[in-house]
Amino acid sequence: MSDPREPFPLSSLNLRRLRQDEHVRALTREVHIQTEQLIQPLFVAEGIPTRQPVPGLTGVCQETATSLLQQVEADLEAGVRKFLLFGVPLARRERQIDWSYTAGQITALKRRFGRDLWLATDVCLCSSTPHGHCGVLTAEGDHVDNDASVQELTQAALAYAQAGADCVAPSDMMDSRVLAIRGALDRAGLARTVLMSYAVKFHSALYGPFRVAADSTPRADGLKDRASYQLDPARPSDAWRCAQRDLAEGADILMVKPGLPYLDLLRELSRAIRAPWAVYQVSGEFAALEALAAQGLAHRAALHREILTAFKRAGAQMVITYGARYAREWLAA
Ligand code: PBG
Ligand code: ZN
C-alpha cells in the first residue's frame, strides 16, 4: 500500500498515452483537412493545339477550351468542386485590354457545370500585358502606374463576374483595387460576387512554374521584377496594413501567399483579424514537395498531409493547392 500522503508523482506524466493507437489519436485530433475547403487552380491558354503539361506541377496542364471542360469533369469526380481559373489569352496589350477570352471560358464552364462548381477567377494583368507586369507601365517604363492599372483590373473583374464567376480574386497588388472592384460590381448589380483579395502576397522566388503556365514572367527593360508592388518578405508589418486595408475596402476573403514560408504571419493575422483566411500553396512550394517525393525521399501522401495540416493549424480556412485533385486519395492513404 502506498502512503496516501505521498505527493502526486508528477514525474509519471504520461503524454504517450494519447498517442498509442489510431483510435485515441483520432479522438484527440484538433485539426482536420477537409477536401471541401481546397481550391484547385486551372490554367486555360488560347492558341495551343493540345494541353501542355506545366513543368514541376504534377498533373497540371495549360488546358485548351476543350480539355478544360474534361479536366473539370474529372476533378468533380475526384471530389473537387472549388476552382481558381487563370486565363492566358493570345493578344497582349497595355491598356483597354480585351477580357473576352477568359470571360468566354467562364461562361462555358458555368453553362456546362452550373452550381456543381464554385468558380473563382484570378484578376490580374500579367498574362495580358506585353511585358508581363501585373499593371500598366508609366510612360518612362520604369514603374507601374497604380490608377491606370486599377482601371484595367476593374474591367476584368466586371467582365468575369458578368460571365458568371462566383468569385473574383485580384492578385496584382495595386493600391485601392479592392475598393474599385467592389464598387463597380455593386453598381453593376453583381452584389453576390465574392471578392477574395490576395491581400498579403509577397515578392517571392517560389512563383517559377506558375509563370510558365500563365506566360507572365516580367520582361520590361525598365522594370525587371515585381518588388515595387508585391510585399517585402523582410517587412511583416506591411502584411498587417494590407490585410486591414483590404478588409476595410470590402474584401470578403483575405489570403496569405506563399504559404509555408509565411506561416508565422498566417497564424498571427488569422487570430487577430476574424475574417475568412485563404492560403495559397504556390507553384514553387508544391513543385518542391513533389520533387522530394519523386526522388523517393518522402512518402508523397504523408508529406502533403503534413503540410496541409500545418496550413489548417496556422488558421487558414481554405487552401489553394495544385494538389487538390489528389487530396481525397492522399487523405485515404
Ligand atoms: C500573378 C500571380 C502569381 C501567382 C498567382 N497570380 C505569380 C506572380 O506574382 O508572378 C502565383 C501562383 C503560383 O506560383 O502558384 N498575378
Ligand atoms: Zn499578375
Each residue's pLDDT tens digit, 29-66: 999 999 999 999 999 999 999 999 999 999 999 999 99
Is the CB–ligand 1 distance for residue 207 below 6 Å? Answer: yes
Name the closest ligand to CA 323: 1
- Ligand 1 centroid to 134 CA: how many Å? 10
Each residue's pLDDT tens digit, 210-269: 999 999 999 999 999 999 999 999 999 999 999 999 999 999 999 999 999 999 999 999
Q: Which atom of ligand 1 is nearest to the CA of 322?
A: 15
Q: Which atom of ligand 1 is nearest to the CA of 284?
A: 14
From atom 5 of ligand 1, which residue's Cα is the shortest distance away?
171
The set of long-range contacts for 88-92, using a CB threshold of 8 Å and a minimum separation of 24, is 88/43, 88/44, 88/45, 88/46, 88/62, 88/127, 88/213, 88/214, 88/215, 89/46, 89/127, 89/128, 90/46, 90/47, 91/128, 92/128, 92/129, 92/130
pLDDT value at residue 139: 96
Q: Which atom of ligand 1 is nearest to the CA of 206?
A: 14
Each residue's pLDDT tens digit, 278-321: 999 999 999 999 999 999 999 999 999 999 999 999 999 999 99
As a whole number of angstroms, the distance between CA 85 and CA 1 comes to 70
Residue 152 reports pLDDT greater than 70 = yes
Torsion angle, alpha carbons of 302, 304, 306, 312, to 10? -140
Q: What's this model's pTM, rounded to 2 decimal places?
A: 0.96
> CB count, 10 Å around CB of 142?
13
- Ligand 2 centroid to 216 CA: how many Å? 7
- Name the DSSP class of 188: T
Q: Cell 514572367 identifies what position?
A: 217
Average pLDDT over residues 190-214: 98
Q: What letters, b where the CB count within 10 A reaches 16 and e where it falls short, cover 270-293?
A: beebebebbbbbbbbbbbebbeeb
Ligand 1 pocket test target in 201, 286, 289 with most atoms within 8 Å of CB = 201
Each residue's pLDDT tens digit, 248-264: 999 999 999 999 999 99
From atom 12 of ligand 1, which residue's Cα is the shortest distance away?
282
Residue 82: pLDDT band with limits 50, 70, 90: very high
Is the CB–ligand 1 distance for residue 263 below 6 Å? Answer: no
Q: Hey, what domains does the chain have and what are their CATH numbers?
A: 34-332 (3.20.20.70)
- Options 82, 110, 224, 257, the catalytic residue: 257
